Amino acid sequence: MNAKILFAVGGFFLLLIGCAIPHQMHEEEAVEEPFYVEEEPFYENNMEEQKAQPVVIQGGRANKELYAGLPNSIKIHVEGESTEHLHVFSSNGRLTPADVSKGMYNFYEQRPGFVVEIVAKDTFSGKMITKVFDVVAIPAPEAYIWKYRTAVKIHNLVFNAKDFSTQNAVVLHHRQQVPALCLAESFTLIRIDGEGKRTVHHNKDKNGLFDETAKKIISAAQKGDIYLVQDIKTSCSPFPVKNIVYTIK
């Protein structure tokens, strides 16, 4: 009888243990089950920032220099977008709109030696983009004996007597792109013939064109003659223009 009671009690405890073990395993499994937290939309924000097009300010020589005494074109560019929401201004000089719908402005400063900031402010976001330029004097042009108002062919500056006698002016030209028309307001023309005789004439107030005396000196060219042009004056640049020399072939 006692053995039966002990057997029954033992079975009861085994049953309790058997029920507890699966319950504990369920609890452990429940703890280990993965759960997910919704992340903040960083990706979407980054995409919006990537879609925003930068403001680009361009102008002047090599996008670094603006010329004093000339209207310089400035372009404020936003790819695929209008620039009408931008407030554009300069720290020095005078900046005026040319075509705001296309982002075109003109900058003018009479005096060289300044540093100017061109600023574009987004009136929506308040962000400002700044581009710094140096305001420089127009460089001295190069002088050539050539035909008035025709393109200078720098690679073809050797003349025989026949071709030289048909030239009618001292023209000024910049090899680099400068938006300025420079004219030789006065100069001294010298001819040295084969015997060493010098003919000197001062040509002025003709915008570089030869006057009648200069035309006669040029038309008298012979093989071996030397022609010099000195003291070339122009108001477009504060720098002196180099003298030029031609030996007739």
- What is the share, in percent, of the chain residues with pLDDT greater than 70? 78
Distance CA 118, CA 130 (A): 6
Looking at residue 46, what is its pLDDT? 46
Tell me: the pLDDT tens digits for 6-46? 445 455 444 444 544 444 444 445 455 554 445 544 444 44
Q: What pLDDT is attached to residue 102?
A: 86
Q: Higher pLDDT residue, 230 or 150? A: 230
**Which pLDDT score, from 0 to 100, does residue 33 have?**
55
pLDDT (tens digit, 9 = 90+) per residue, 73-111?
999 988 777 777 899 999 999 999 999 888 999 999 999
Q: What is the pLDDT of residue 100?
A: 85
Note the pLDDT tens digit of each residue in 135-171: 999 999 999 999 998 888 876 678 999 999 999 999 9
74 versus 180: the higher-pLDDT residue is: 74
Q: 125-138 pLDDT, tens per residue?
A: 888 999 999 999 99
Q: What's this model's pTM, rounded to 2 decimal places? A: 0.69
Predicted confidence band at 188 (pLDDT cuts at 50, 70, 90)?
very high
The answer, yes or no, to whether residue 244 has pLDDT greater than 90, is: yes
User: Which of 225, 245, 227, 248 has its CA nearest to residue 143?
Assistant: 245
Which residue reads 């009618």 in tokens? 168
Helix, strand, coil percent values for the chain (each to nearest 5):
20, 35, 40
Distance in angstroms between the alpha carbons of the first and the last residue of the chain: 146
| pLDDT confidence of residue 179 | 85
- Tell me how far apart the alpha carbons of residues 74 and 3 are, in angstroms, rounded to a whole number: 108
- Lowest mean pLDDT across 15-29, 185-199, 210-224: 15-29
Distance CA 116, CA 47 (A): 35
> Which one has a higher pLDDT value, 49 or 70?
70
**105/98 Cα distance (integer angstroms):** 5
Mean pLDDT score, 222-230: 97
Q: Worst-scoring range by mean pLDDT, 114-128, 202-216, 232-246?
A: 114-128
pLDDT confidence of residue 7: 47
pLDDT at residue 172 in the model: 96
Taking all residues of the chain, what is their mean pLDDT, rounded to a whole number? 84
By DSSP bridging, strand 65-67 and strand 94-99 are unpaired
